[in-house]
Structure 1
Amino acid sequence: MNRSDASQTGGRGGRIYAVLRQAVVDQALPPGTKLPEDALGAEFGVSRTIVRAALQRLAADGLVEMKTKRTATVARPSLEEARAVFEVRRCLEREVVRLVAARWSEALRDTLAAHIAAEDDAARRQDGPATIRLAAEFHVRLAAMAGNPLLERYVGEVVSRCSLILAVFGRPHRSECAIGEHRSVLEALARGDADAAVAAMEDHVSLVEQRGVGGESEGEADLGVILSRYLGRRGGDA
């Protein structure tokens, strides 16, 4: 990597990482989608070196598999891996809820209530991508309230990997189910009942896991079409 490329991996490379990561989490880029460095470089107007650095970050997150020197693919977790991820997720989210309960305040309640209201709105509008994104963000937002940056990071990573699992194995379900489960966690926290909040979160994650072990998805994504939507929506702020 030359000095010019190295100086850009944090800026342009960070933008590529953010856009691809969001597209994976939104399930817009399905597992198995090829991510060729040349094509991505053309889409973003950067060198393969910068693209490769972004892909390596995604691979470290477990979202991408680096199969050859110039081509990566969106990761396709196995059923065994999926169960292991959910096992870790249950442990992490139990601790998140306990920590949030200990730090609970009206401000935290208002923040979570506003987020759930946004989920309700997306469901009413039948905005599938927004519904998926907001469902994942609920858990990341809750983890941020725990006051432990490392825990927040791990929850963010495991929630992102769960999005891949749902894209591969997910069973159809009504979005209102997950929203109601989020609301149950909030209501228990608002009552000051930490044990009930933990139980509600455990039930929710178990139900998400159950919804995430159906049949495998099929079909190949059009990389250019998908990224054009994300680049158009985010502009230069990604």
Structure 2
Amino acid sequence: MARPSPRIEVAHEALRQAIIEQALKPGTKLPEDVIGEQFAMSRTLVRAVLAKLEAEGLVDAHPKRTATVAQPTLAEARDVFGVRRALEAEAVRLVAKRWQPAFASELESLLRQEDEARSRQDERVSIHLAGEFHLRLAHLSGNALLERYLRELITRCSLILAVFGRPHSSDCAIEEHSALIAALSAGKAEEAVAIMNTHIGAVERRALLGGDDEKPAALGDVLSHYAAAVTARQAPKPTAKPSKTASSK
């Protein structure tokens, strides 16, 4: 299978992250010419990016109208959380069966980063890391299909939080994630499942607290910021040059 164009990958990841972190709010228009100019892509490639985001539930695209960041309904939001709760519980059971100390180290590292973002009052990074915690847990389940479905559900939940309420309380999320790691480390699988169920229920309730009135940023400014971040992450790291020795003269 052919690998997608690097420009498509960068554009997709930049837009995806901007939507997940709520830099692009639900309903934001995504003109093809602005995206094409930012990523030096033709309209055909832009449409491929938008189609991919639409398949993930992040964008509403129409043949004769400008694509927009998706706006899930309340009914859709409830459906998403219902399915997510079931799949997250199964992911926890699978992780518990495969548990090893290295898993705790991986998850605790994300937890520390989330705590640091909270201390800086960096809400967008905190949202992103909270989602990454769940994605990492899904990856540790060893079930690639489950991981794929949860990835889509977790990104859709970010939209739901943007539409129906303010993001989760970082304090609560970190405490809930920490309790989950502790239960898994202790070999208490069903306790871990119960913690996850409670946690997802709490996230769902916090999603209904009411929105905010933050003025949206210009699309070009947002894309420029996220494109630079994605490109920096994907750039190959420089390799150290071998040191010269006396014998090499």
Instruction: Name the TM-score, length of structure 2 as normaliser.
Output: 0.88
Percent identity over the alignment is 52
Q: 81-90 vs 60-69, which deviates more?
A: 60-69
- Partner residue of 1:45 out of 21, 40, 46: 40
How many residue pairs get aligned? The number is: 232
2:187 counterpart of 1:188: no
Corresponding position of 1:231: 227
Bigger Rg over Cα: 2
Give unmatched runs, 5+ long, in structure 2: 235-249
Corresponding position of 1:78: 73
SS of structure 1 residue aligned to 2:209: coil
Distance in 1 between residues matched to 2:201 and 2:64, nearest whole Å = 38
Distance in 2 between residues matched to 1:216 and 1:81, nearest whole Å = 18
Corresponding position of 1:3: none
Corresponding position of 1:96: 91
CA RMSD of aligned residues (A): 1.7
Distance in 2 between residues matched to 1:217 and 1:73, nearest whole Å = 19
- Partner residue of 1:205 out of 200, 207, 223: 200
Question: What whole-Å deviation, never above 9, does each CA across 1:198-226 have from its counterpart, x for those lacking one?
Answer: 00000000000001123345554410111
Question: What whole-Å deviation, never above 9, does each CA across 1:145-167 have from its counterpart, x for those lacking one?
Answer: 00000000001100000000001
SS of structure 1 residue aligned to 2:112: helix
CA shift at 1:70, angstroms?
5.9
Distance in 2 between residues matched to 1:193 and 1:9, nearest whole Å = 42
Distance in 2 between residues matched to 1:206 and 1:217, nearest whole Å = 22
SS of structure 2 residue aligned to 1:32: coil
Q: Cα gap change, 1:189/1:36 in structure 2, threshold over 3 Å: closer, same or farther?
A: same
CA shift at 1:93, angstroms?
0.1
Distance in 2 between residues matched to 1:121 and 1:40, nearest whole Å = 32
Whether contact under 8 Å (1:9, 1:53) holds in the other structure is: no
Distance in 2 between residues matched to 1:231 and 1:62, nearest whole Å = 21
CA shift at 1:237, angstroms?
4.5
Q: 158-167 vs 116-125, which deviates more?
A: 116-125
Give unmatched runs, 5+ long, in structure 1: 1-6
Report matched runs for 1:21-170 at 5 Å.
21-69=16-64, 71-170=66-165
Whether contact under 8 Å (1:123, 1:175) holds in the other structure is: yes
Moved over 6 A (4+): none
- Partner residue of 1:10 out of 5, 16, 21: 5
SS of structure 2 residue aligned to 1:72: strand
Instruction: Name the TM-score, length of structure 1 as normaliser.
Output: 0.92
Q: Which amino acid aligns with 1:232?
A: A
Corresponding position of 2:238: none
Distance in 2 between residues matched to 1:190 and 1:103, nearest whole Å = 11
Distance in 2 between residues matched to 1:125 and 1:58, nearest whole Å = 30
Question: What whole-Å deviation, never above 9, does each CA across 1:67-109 have from its counterpart, x for those lacking one?
Answer: 3446200000011100000000001000000000000001111
Q: Cα gap change, 1:50/1:70 in structure 2, threshold over 3 Å: closer, same or farther?
A: farther
Distance in 2 between residues matched to 1:220 and 1:125, nearest whole Å = 21
